Structure 1
Amino acid sequence: MESTLDEVIKIIREKFGPYRKPIDGNSLIEDDLHICGDDGTDLLEACEQAFTISFNTEVKSLRERFSLAENEYLFTGEGLDPFGIGLFINWLRGIPRPIIRDLTVDELHRVIIETVREQTKQD
C-alpha cells in the first residue's frame, strides 16, 4: 500500500467508521475525530499493518518518531477519574500532569512516510 494522505484517511474511516465532518490533513486525531486511549493505539497498529512498518524499533522508539518529550503523550487515557483523585495523588507525589500532543492526520502521515523510508532502506 502506498503511504499517501488519502490512504491514511481511508484507514481512519475503515477502522472508526464514517465521520460527519470531512477528514483532511489538518484534522486533529483526538479533538476533531475523538480517537483517544485504546482507539489511538488501534489506529497506530492499523497504520503499522497497512504500511508494513513498526513505529517502535530497536533503532528508533515511538516517542522519538513522534518527537514526544518525557511527559508528552499522543492520546489521553480512557480511565475514569470523576473527582480527580488520581490527579490529586499524582500532584502530591510530584508527578506532573501529562501533556497530550494532539496529532493532525498530516503529522501522522509524515511520520508514516519517514518510517517507511527508513525501514525500506534497512531491507
Structure 2
Amino acid sequence: MDELKFDEFADFIREYRQVPDRKRISPETQFERDLGLTGDDGSDLLEATEKRFRVTLASEEKGLRETFNLGPNEYLFHSEGWDIFPFRFTSLFGVEPTVREFTVGELFEAVRKAKAVTK
C-alpha cells in the first residue's frame, strides 16, 4: 500500500469541510482559525478521519492526549456554545484550559503514524 501523501489528505479535509478549491490547505492551516472548525464539528472530523483512513487516533486509556501530546488542560478544539460560568474551571482547579492551534499537518502526521502502526 502506498504511503499517504499530504495532497490526498488535504483533499479529504477539503471535501469534508467543503472548502472552495481557491482556498489553499497547507500543513500550517489551522482548523479553527482558517477553516472555522470547532467543538463537536472537530470531534466529528476526527471520527471521519479514523473511518476514512482506517486508523485509531484515540487510545482506550488516554484518548487523544497521547496521540497529540496534549497537556492535562490542553484541548484540540474550543467547546461549542457559551459558558455562563467561565470562571468555574479556573477557580476550582487554578488552571485555565488552553486550546492548541491545531493544524492540518498535525492531524496528517498523526494519521501517518497510526497507519504505520497498523501495517
Aligned residue-pair number: 117
Q: What is the Cα deviation at residue 35 of structure 1?
A: 0.8
Deviations 1:79-102 (A, max 9, x none): 213xxx421222332352211012
Q: Report what 1:17 is aligned to.
A: 18
Unaligned runs of 5+ in 1: none
Q: Report what 2:72 is aligned to.
A: 70
CA RMSD of aligned residues (A): 2.1
Q: Which amino acid aligns with 2:95?
A: P
Q: Which has the higher contact order (CA 8 A, sep 6+)?
A: 1
Unaligned runs of 5+ in 2: none
Q: Distance in 1 between matches of 2:62 and 2:78?
A: 23
Q: Distance in 1 between matches of 2:90 and 2:65?
A: 24
Q: Report what 2:108 is aligned to.
A: 109
Q: What is the Cα deviation at residue 59 of structure 1?
A: 7.8
Q: Report what 1:36 is aligned to.
A: 38
Q: Report what 2:9 is aligned to.
A: 8
Q: What is the Cα deviation at residue 61 of structure 1?
A: 3.8
Q: Report what 1:49 is aligned to.
A: 51
Q: In the alignment, is residue 92 of structure 1 matched against residue 94 of structure 2?
A: no
Percent identity for Structure 1 against Structure 2 = 39
Q: Distance in 2 between matches of 1:61 and 1:90?
A: 21
Q: Distance in 2 between matches of 1:54 and 1:38?
A: 18
Q: What is the Cα deviation at residue 58 of structure 1?
A: 4.3
Q: What is the Cα deviation at residue 49 of structure 1?
A: 0.8
Deviates more, 1:18-27 or 1:64-73: 18-27
TM-score (norm 2): 0.85
TM-score (norm 1): 0.83
SS class of match (2:66): helix
Deviations 1:51-73 (A, max 9, x none): 10111234874210100011100
Q: What is the Cα deviation at residue 47 of structure 1?
A: 1.0
